Amino acid sequence: MSDIAKFFGYTPLNTIMHRLDPRVKFLWYFAAILPAVAWSDPLFLLGILCMIFICGALAKAENRVMLKIILLPFPGYIMILLYNIFAFDFTVRQMIPWELLYLGWLIPKFNSFGPYGHISLEGLIFTLGVCLRLAIFVSASRLFLKFTSPSDITTALSKLKVPVEFTTTISIAFGYLPELARQVTSILDAQKSRGWRVDSKNPVRIVRAYIPVIIPIVSRSMTRSEFLAAAIVSRGFGTGSRRISLKEASFSLQDYVAFALLMIFLVTSIITGTWVLNIAHFRFTTSIIRQLCNLPAI
Amino acid sequence: MEEYAIIMENVDWTYEGGTEKAIRNINLKIKKGEIVVITGPSGAGKSTLCYCISGLIPHFFRGELRGEVIVSGYNVRQTPLKVLSKEVGICFDNPSNQLFCATVLEEVAFGPENICVSRDEVIERVRDAIKLCRLEEYKDKSPHALSGGLKQSTAIAAIMAMRPNIFVLDEPTSNLDPEGTELIFHRIHELMSAQKRTTIIVEHKLEYVLPFADRLIIMSDGEIVANGSVRKVLAESELLQKLEISVPHVTKLAYGICKHLSEDNVPITLEEGMKLLRGVTVRKTMPGLKELKCHSLAGKERKIIIKCENVWYEYPDGTLALKGVNLEINEGELIGVIGQNGSGKTTLAKLLNGLYKPTKGTVIVDGIDTRTVDVGYLARVVGYCFQNPDDQIFAKTVREELEFGPRNLKLPPEEIEQRVKKYAKKLEIHNYLDVSPFTLSQGLRQRVAVASVLTMEPKILIIDEPTTGQDYARSKAIMDLAKELNKEGKTVIIISHDMNLIAEYCDRVVVMWNGKILIEGTTREVFSKPQVLAQSSLKPPQITQLAQILGLPPDILTVDEMIDLLDIKG
């Protein structure tokens, strides 16, 4: 019943997304993440986010949970906003050749104090872009883990000639996440029932306050890992012989089509967005807004 | 030599860092195709014996091995695990600790993928194992999302796919509810009938497993103390009673009423119990039936300490765990909550201590509406002992562990010290106060966990699954403690799968099913309605079932009551 497991666990379903070859799934992930790093325009990034939601619908991910995931780094969004209000003028501003449209101050002048935090249209648009990058990163990662089983990751890595011990470790680690989440919930409940709570704002005290939770998590994980290791070796792992995979990684027509589309998108998005047309720069949205508000063009 | 699957000669094993031998003087020969059940108190060395047979000792666990272990003709000491893993398959007690793949299919395939057989053979083995364990409809599901019984079925299928000649099942049902236990034994029985392979089953629940076993071995203190055909060993009543082995009720009944027990007349199943009693009752005992008194609480004026009114609870993921529960618990009651996993028992308990707040309806505990206070505040009224003591043990010493709760309640140091002393003494852990709780045995750790809740001096104590993974003697010890605390005035709520212990100890029983209370009443009332219990796949204790079949009072709860009723004691 753990939310953590629900957020990060693999859901075995038979959807078009789940059926993709693991290598195509990796490519999908990079196609979602890399343009987000290269681009800063909110409208384009919003387009990518919509694509992720469409893929989410294809993978039968609940929209409600997807939205929750996007809101998860909410404090991060606030931090990004505050940082940009105070630092935009000294950082990104230096690279903008046009006059910024200032909207006002976050902290107005009061006697000799202030003003601080110069809010500009460009600053806000840029902030929105950065927040969307973060949203794309968390939602794409979550969706990737939802339709990519840990063994898919193993299969894809094996195809890339990664040693089997490493790929199996990765696979088991991912497989362990939902169980770990259940364990953490149970331990938290047990300690809360003994009156445990964290009511300090001092970071050192907070860390100390978590000791009663961290120690049982570690000790139980260690016990579990010993049994797990015993179970793994008793099922013939580490025998040194070549591992035969039940799943044969072979491209179907669907995989070829998806692979081609993703490659085209990835290449064109990076080229057009970064070097050639520079359309993915946040001036695209800025100029649209300026035009709509009858402001001087840039 | 060829007819034996396993030969152990003078085997001793000491774990690295251990001072005592975990098993010693083990001499054992098991024939091919034999089904052997091993039982005995916790710490007797049963699991260690399994590890020796599977080769985990000496190849995985470190320590000192003496003597010879020969498995399928291989000397275990000299044979690498990769060879042994094809000969012996081992399944552990906790299914969650041995499943690590994303789907049932991948889990079952993991073994054959490792042992260098062709891809077609991997596919064939996986298909057969999944079919034999009847997991077809779950093959694409995550094993962690399945019920306990199906999880363990997956673990068994994963071993089946390795096609070993020897199966070792180390307490395969200790973490399962009655339905899961039935399912697993049913499955094991089916597998054994389909393909007779050498099978070693370590088990406390003898009632389920003995009917299809060939041999019974009793271990105690690292040694084999009895070894022979099932009935021959069961006939050794003195030894079994001394070791507090949980034999089937009908067997225990025979110990009480038969003067001369032998291999030929020891009953195991309900049918054999009927035969035993038919002979007895027809001759002279029927007229001697005594009226059993029901310890009904009706008529006694008691304060209501817990009141649930139309309580609904929905988990954040939308699972409706409770659907309109109405329940009143009186102060000073010892109440048992039973039901299958997922029936809502633990959710109900967590609503009582405020960990969860009702989605709809109210929970009033000692006059406090749980929605108005946090769990920390309620901790002084309701103490909750979790199933696994390792979920809460964290401190450097037992003393610190015991101090943790009252400290959270911001009690003065003198008061805390006084409480720690009082409850450490009460639970007989006062000699370990300055010892690390992690170094204690499981039984002692459980007592530390209970004591650490008691130091908060709650009026109500909830004990969640106190018998999971425990032998009969330890389970009884915890129930005795619950009874004692109850006598001192505490309201005690016990959540358990063990019908025999619930029947023996509780005043009242609540049966949960599908998020609702299916039936509640005095223990006698509830267990005398087997048809209602069957709705939630529960059964009354074997002795109660026997009485009901024979037309004796349907609310007999223990073997001793049955013996009293038959009036032939001595």
Burial class (CB in 10 A: 0-12, 13-18, 19+), B451: buried
Is B184 within 8 Å of B148 (Cβ atoms)?
Answer: no
The two structure tokens encoding residue B233: 């060993």
Has residue A203 been placed in a domain?
A: no
Which of A69, A165, A193 is most worth mutating to test chain B (most B CB atoms within 10 A of its CB)? A193
Q: Residue B198: helix, strand or coil by DSSP?
A: strand
The reply to whether residue A235 touches residue B409, judged by beta carbons under 8 angstroms, is no
Give the relative orientation of helices A42-58 and A63-71 as an angle to the nearest 10 degrees.
Answer: 140
Helices (H), B328-380: 345-352, 375-378
The CATH number, out of the four listed (3.40.50.2000, 3.40.1350.10, 3.40.50.300, 2.170.130.10), of the domain defined by the range B301-540: 3.40.50.300
Query: Does the structure show a pLDDT above 60 at B298?
Result: no
CA nearest B462 in A: which residue? A193
Q: For residue range A45-59, list pLDDT tens digits in order.
A: 999 999 999 999 998
Chain B residues with beta carbon closer than 8 angstroms to that of A11: 142
Q: Which of B270, B202, B263 is nearest to B230 (CA)?
A: B263
- Among the listed ranges B35-39, B205-209, B282-286, B368-372, which one has the minimum average pLDDT value? B282-286
> A215-264, pLDDT tens digit by residue?
999 988 888 888 888 888 888 887 665 677 776 667 888 999 999 999 99
Contact B379 A244 (CB under 8 A): no
Tokens for A230, please give them.
Answer: 């015993």
Cβ-based contacts of A245 with chain B (< 8 Å) = 113, 119
Q: How do residues B39-82 score in pLDDT, each as one tens digit?
A: 998 888 999 999 999 999 899 999 999 999 999 999 999 998 88
Residue B458 structure tokens: 């709650």
Would you state the pLDDT for residue B182? 82
This prediction has a pTM of 0.79
Q: Mind telling me how many Å the CA of B98 is from chain A's nearest CA?
A: 5
Is A193–B386 a contact, with Cβ atoms under 8 angstroms apart? yes
List, as one string, the DSSP characters of chain A: --HHHHHHS------HHHHS-HHHHHHHHHHHHHHHHH---HHHHHHHHHHHHHHHHHTT--HHHHHHHHHTTHHHHHHHHHHHHHHGGGTGGGG--SPP-EEEEEE--BTTB--EEEEEHHHHHHHHHHHHHHHHHHHHHHHHHHHS-HHHHHHHHHHTT--HHHHHHHHHHHHHHHHHHHHHHHHHHHHHTTT-------HHHHHHHTHHHHHHHHHHHHHHHHHHHHHHHTTTTTSSSPPPPSS-----HHHHHHHHHHHHHHHHHHIIIIISS-TTSTHHHHHHHHHHTTPPP-
Q: What is the pLDDT of residues A132-174, one digit of tens each?
A: 999 999 999 989 988 888 777 777 777 777 887 787 788 788 7
Q: What is the ipTM of this complex?
A: 0.81
Which fold, B4-228? Answer: Rossmann fold (3.40.50)
CA A249 to chain centroid, in Å, comes to: 26
Phi, psi for B167 (deg, rounded to 5): -105, 135
B86 at the A interface (CB within 8 A)?
Answer: yes
Domains B4-228 and B301-540 share a fold: yes
Owning domain of residue A99:
2-160+250-292
Identify whether A201 is part of a domain.
no
B11 three-state secondary structure = strand
- Give the strand pairing for B74-75 and B223-229: unpaired
A to B CB pairs, distance under 8 Å: 198
Question: Which chain A residues are closer than 8 Å to B96 by Cβ?
Answer: 179, 224
Interface of B with A in 428-467 (CB under 8 A): 438, 452-453, 456
Query: Is the CB of residue A203 less than 8 Å away from at least one CB of chain B?
Result: no
Q: Is residue A255 part of a domain?
A: yes
Closest Cβ opposite residue A176 in set B100, B112, B384: B100
pLDDT digits (tens, 9 = 90+) for A74-111: 889 999 999 988 888 888 777 787 888 888 888 888 88
| Counted domains in chain A | 1
Q: Taking residues B453-468, report their average pLDDT.
A: 90
3-state helix/strand/coil string of B484-542: HHHHCCCEEEEECCCHHHHHHHCCEEEEEECCEEEEEEEHHHHHCCHHHHHHCCCCCCH
The ranges assigned to domains in chain B are: 4-228, 301-540
Q: With a cut of 60, say whether residue B293 has pLDDT above it.
A: no
The answer as to whether A40 is a domain residue is yes
Is A244 in Cβ contact with B117 (below 8 Å)? yes
pLDDT band at B292 (very low <50, low <70, confident <90, very high): very low
Helix (H) or strand (E) holding B364: strand B360-365
